[in-house]
């Protein structure tokens, strides 16, 4: 974070703290205490900057002070610097940014590599591939950079050119140069929809932005028109949420106009709102199934929870994340911003699905999830029991399955990713994904590609036994019999 002048640092901190605190303060005593605390903060900052033995990085001190203050509240309240503000607003509202259109990730051994160029993006059209290691951007050597540094320099104004040099693995001419014209990258909210056997429509929704409702509408109408679907699956797994307004619009597709979806309550009267559907629905009769998991949060839980409370859909999967807090973005001096939690939302049955009460912590300052024993019973429109706290509990629970630790490590260390890139380099023509078959010979080749000398995998039992052996030695329990047992 860079403030325009170091002389405004303390003022900016006061501007962040003072208005909301004074507005929320009730009575002269509270206001006096607040004024005293702000005076102390100002004095500490001034004396530190004046007297500390070494020069003080004022911007860093400011960032530390603000972050510490906000981190004590909840994970969702955050300071957004002027440099980050435009990208934040674009991504959170429209899902749009200026860049080359590719996911990037850290590479084994250091550096950043291309992970997934978006279809039709400048990166894909230029010829960048997964596995390409980015070694230079314009005139800057990027081999020691992290993903944020690389991302910041790949992004930029649309219609500007960025010079990118990569090293491509598994090919002879490995150093390749690209001049890529940036453009506005629109991240789709609905990356996939289709008709399954039995007249079942399927729509995957990955986030809630300004365009999400239009994308879902287009997908739904297309499936009804072209495929004559008889039922619908709306997949919200892994969808961390987004705009509340988008969630209301999507819920509106399946319930009548003027149906209450949520109401919000906060400390300020202005945060007490009722959100109802405002448009004619698309289909209030089509059987609807909503898929959720632990990654379904916020706006996803508004859609899933409201449809459950209204007995409009069957929710299937595993318990959702449990985020029932609403954030508001406010402007701060010098083009900075604050995203702050201002309200809690309640779905139609009246329940709050927030899993963690950040205002109440244990003696050590740790946060706790609401235990099931302390949740309250509410009822859906047709009288079914549902509970608050801890997210949305599905009507039908499905164990999505967990990969073994061995499998997790193989993917976490990018062995599968590296093998796929090697296979692509050796096979210029590959059939479509839905037609591709992993044969026994391909799988055997994949297993051979994993180098035991570079693959770190400790079995859980072996790790636990080693820790137990060390504890026995430290605490004096290691004797001939215990040593024999360990051996």
> Do residues 313 and 391 share a domain?
yes
Domain end (from 153, 186, 219): 186
> Do residues 182 and 205 share a domain?
no
Identify the helix (H) or strand (E) that includes residue 214: helix 212-226
In a domain, 82, yes or no: no
Name the average pLDDT for the chain. Answer: 89
> Do residues 411 and 264 share a domain?
no
Confidence of residue 128 (pLDDT cuts 50, 70, 90): very high
Q: What share of the chain has pLDDT > 70, as a percent? A: 93
Q: Residues 78, 83, 85, CA angle at the centre, nearest 5°?
A: 50
The long-range contacts involving 255-258, CB below 8 angstroms and separated by at least 24 positions, are 255/281, 255/284, 255/307, 255/310, 255/312, 256/281, 256/284, 257/281
In a domain, 83, yes or no: no
C-alpha 166/C-alpha 53 separation (Å) is 45
> Do residues 229 and 355 share a domain?
yes
Q: What mean pLDDT comes out for the span 361-368? A: 78
Give the pLDDT confidence score for residue 243 in this predicted structure: 94
> Do residues 385 and 411 share a domain?
no
Q: What mean pLDDT comes out for the span 350-356? A: 94
Give the pLDDT confidence score for residue 20 in this predicted structure: 47
> Do residues 208 and 125 share a domain?
no
Q: Check whether 476 has a pLDDT greater than 80.
A: no
Of residues 329 and 109, the one with the higher pLDDT is 329
Q: What mean pLDDT comes out for the span 215-226? A: 97
Q: Is 83 helix (H, G, I), strand (E, B) or coil?
A: helix
> Do residues 157 and 66 share a domain?
no
> Do residues 323 and 391 share a domain?
yes
In a domain, 251, yes or no: yes
Q: Check whether 7 has a pLDDT greater than 70.
A: no
In a domain, 454, yes or no: no
Q: Check whether 19 has a pLDDT greater than 50.
A: no
Least confident of 161-165, 272-276, 412-416: 412-416
Confidence of residue 162 (pLDDT cuts 50, 70, 90): very high
Domain end (from 397, 417, 437): 397
Q: What is the CATH number of the domain that holds 174?
A: 2.30.42.10
Neighbours of 448 (CB within 10 A): 9
In a domain, 483, yes or no: no
- 441: containing domain: 405-449
> Do residues 297 and 222 share a domain?
yes
Give the pLDDT confidence score for residue 436 in this predicted structure: 92
Confidence of residue 11 (pLDDT cuts 50, 70, 90): very low
pTM above 0.85, yes or no: no
Of 56-60, 234-238, 399-403, 480-484, which one has max mean pLDDT?
234-238
**What amino acid positions are annotated as catalytic residues?**
298, 309, 323
| Beta strand 260-265 pairing with 133-137 | unpaired
Q: Check whether 282 has a pLDDT greater than 80.
A: yes
Tell me the pLDDT tens digit for each residue of 65-100: 888 889 889 999 999 988 888 878 877 777 778 999
Least confident of 40-49, 320-329, 469-478: 469-478
Q: What mean pLDDT comes out for the span 44-72? A: 88
Q: Check whether 262 has a pLDDT greater than 70.
A: yes
> Do residues 60 and 37 share a domain?
yes
Please, what's the b/e burial string for 209-238 (b: 16 or more CB within 10 A of its CB; e: otherwise)?
bbbbbebbbebbeebbeeeebeebbbbbbb
Total structural domains within the chain: 4
> Do residues 293 and 171 share a domain?
no
**Residue 182 backbone class (left: φ over 0; alpha: ψ -120 to 50; beta: rest):** beta
> Do residues 231 and 347 share a domain?
yes
């Amino acid at each position: 974070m860079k403030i325009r002048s170091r002389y405004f640092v303390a003022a900016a901190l006061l501007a962040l703290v003072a208005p909301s605190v004074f507005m929320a303060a009730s009575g002269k005593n509270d206001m006096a205490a607040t004024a005293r605390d702000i005076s102390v903060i100002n004095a500490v900052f001034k004396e530190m900057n004046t007297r500390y033995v070494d020069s003080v990085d004022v911007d860093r001190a400011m960032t530390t002070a603000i972050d510490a203050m906000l981190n004590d509240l909840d994970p969702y309240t955050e300071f957004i610097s002027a440099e980050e503000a435009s990208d934040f607003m674009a991504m959170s509202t429209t899902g749009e940014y200026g860049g080359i259109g590719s996911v990037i990730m850290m590479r084994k051994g250091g550096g950043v590599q291309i992970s997934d160029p978006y279809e039709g993006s400048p990166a894909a059209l230029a010829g960048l591939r997964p596995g390409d290691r980015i070694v230079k951007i314009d005139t800057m050597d990027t081999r020691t950079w992290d993903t944020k540094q690389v991302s910041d320099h790949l992004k930029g104004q649309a219609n500007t050119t960025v010079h990118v040099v990569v090293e491509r693995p598994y090919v002879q001419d490995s150093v390749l140069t690209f001049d890529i014209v940036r453009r506005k990258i629109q991240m789709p909210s609905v990356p996939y929809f289709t008709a399954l056997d039995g007249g079942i429509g399927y729509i995957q929704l990955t986030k809630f932005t300004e365009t999400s409702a239009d994308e879902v509408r287009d997908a739904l109408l297309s499936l009804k028109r072209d495929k004559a679907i008889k039922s619908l699956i709306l997949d919200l797994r892994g969808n961390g949420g987004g705009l509340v307004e988008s969630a209301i619009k999507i819920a509106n597709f399946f319930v009548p106009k003027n149906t209450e979806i949520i109401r919000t309550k906060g400390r300020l009267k202005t945060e007490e709102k009722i959100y109802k559907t405002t448009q004619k629905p698309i289909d209030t009769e089509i059987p609807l199934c909503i898929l959720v998991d632990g990654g379904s949060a916020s706006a996803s839980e508004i859609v899933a929870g409201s449809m459950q409370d209204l007995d409009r859909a069957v929710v299937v999967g595993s318990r959702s994340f449990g985020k029932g807090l609403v954030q508001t973005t406010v402007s701060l001096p010098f083009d900075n911003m604050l995203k702050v939690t201002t309200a809690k939302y309640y779905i139609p049955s009246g329940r709050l699905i927030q899993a963690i009460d950040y205002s109440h912590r244990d003696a050590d300052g740790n946060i706790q999830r609401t235990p099931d024993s302390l949740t309250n019973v509410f009822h859906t429109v047709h009288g079914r029991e549902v509970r608050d706290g801890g997210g949305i509990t599905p009507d039908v629970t499905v164990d999505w399955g967990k990969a073994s630790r061995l499998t997790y490590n193989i993917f976490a260390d990018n062995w599968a990713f590296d093998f796929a890139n090697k296979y692509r380099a050796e096979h210029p023509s590959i059939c479509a994904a839905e037609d591709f078959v992993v044969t026994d010979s391909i799988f055997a080749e994949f297993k051979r590609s994993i180098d035991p000398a570079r693959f770190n995998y400790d079995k859980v039992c072996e790790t636990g036994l080693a820790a137990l052996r060390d504890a026995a030695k430290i605490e004096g329990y290691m004797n001939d019999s215990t040593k024999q047992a360990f051996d």
